[in-house]
A and B are shown apart, each in its own frame.
Chain A
């Protein structure tokens, strides 16, 4: 079948002449999904927008062409191109919570699109309701009158998809449409995308950083690196037999949950952290109910669950940042006070936390040296000079060059920042590290490196870990034991290999089924 969306030799530059997208040629036929994979900064969003003949402020399309359903979008006037966007080719943005206008009802998001492009005056309301029911939303007037904040993340994303397809475009470009959604919701959105392809024959470009997601939905895959397409081919082939070195690195960086990890802590050590019948609430809403867990010396316990399962709240309670409403937390047998400030210095030193977002957890106005030296000074009473001597050692321990000590966080990449955050925790010489989703803001290859670092630190320092994550692959890669959490309650707990291979609880099974995996992995398990 001939391609309905075709880009040839596309080049997008910043105003200073640096290329963000360079020499990209792709073609997508009706009823085909092209998965566009790349890490952050690879230029995939810029390319996605360029496929609509659009360049963000500060960028220009300088060479090449984009043709959709016979219309040449590049070289067209902005007004003419706008008439095509949404009608022949449309866009589904990444974050529906910020892309839907919060002061417009969701029905208007769709009817606006229709009014802009559709035949005037022909049954607006009906069109909106049909568009909603087509993407699995209730096709009711009452629903169309709701505001975005009254919808869940998954429903919001369905609304943006409904708006994108209401004019029956020949091609749809989706930019990370399921990033930020939990796995179960993600699986449902992916079904919707698949239906769009099979039932309506839409040509779809699906942009994602997640190789497993792309592998589960795309017919063909294009791998993007530094603005160029380095490899392109049938999905199964690219993922199972990657030819380009970058693709191979990308595929091998994806943590797999069926590769059994050599367990380092089979010998049951002394319990270091015990949580007994923990209850916690946000205001009046209970988010953690009767959770008990135990981390033994040198072991890693993972707490797994979807967003809203209460896993981060548990981590915060343990770190003394959130006061539990009931229950007891013990460190080496001693009960801990609810607030970090009421704990002894020694207790605070022994237990350190690393946060989810490395772009947020380092003070932007402080040098790395300052940031790392601080816990050593506050919690171990070192002098400024002594602490500074340790900074170089700690940077080395997290595999960073010591010259980074004089830098500010903004000069570091996400992976480097997360290593600094880990070094800051290590500066206190802790016995247990609480890791709250520490890899979820990182690219897969960076994530793999951080997980590797954690493994090494555990064997070098005998650290115990309480590891909070939503990613089962990551959990399989680091944890000895798993605790599965749903709406604040423990569903299942046990050794990682047992829970992931033969889950006892229905919720665990659902979680496992919903998580997309690389095809080769799915075949072998």
Chain B
């Protein structure tokens, strides 16, 4: 499995964010997208996720499930955690398990893995920012997808949470998944770097 981006250019609101961007991520590999604020890291992830249309260029997943599109085989972990505050923690997770479909693991077990099992039945509105992040990570674990698109994944996580997430990413890569992460701080797993927006 290989994720290929060729000559991608992105235009937002009439302004060119980046152009002529090439990248390649192979199975079991992580790509860290780095660059200053506003350089288009989030835009790149949203292009790969199919949430933005590229101005030019192509993005393709080679060797994936031929019946599914790239977004359908991807997890997107954005700035917003996609939680309903009116629902409980486990209701949120079970909804995404049922809605996203595909290969699934036990939500309760995954909640325990991210350290939220004690809060499973409390409303999601009571969660702190870091706990919301942990719940989003539980979603990545519960529904299995080969491609992970992570936007500042360790934001708001404490140091224990960060090391937990490092293990989670390492496991995902070891199983043959691939990761593209926009980040300011080192990911913690071996990753190639893609620098955008710099003069260099």
A and B are partners in one complex rather than unrelated chains: no
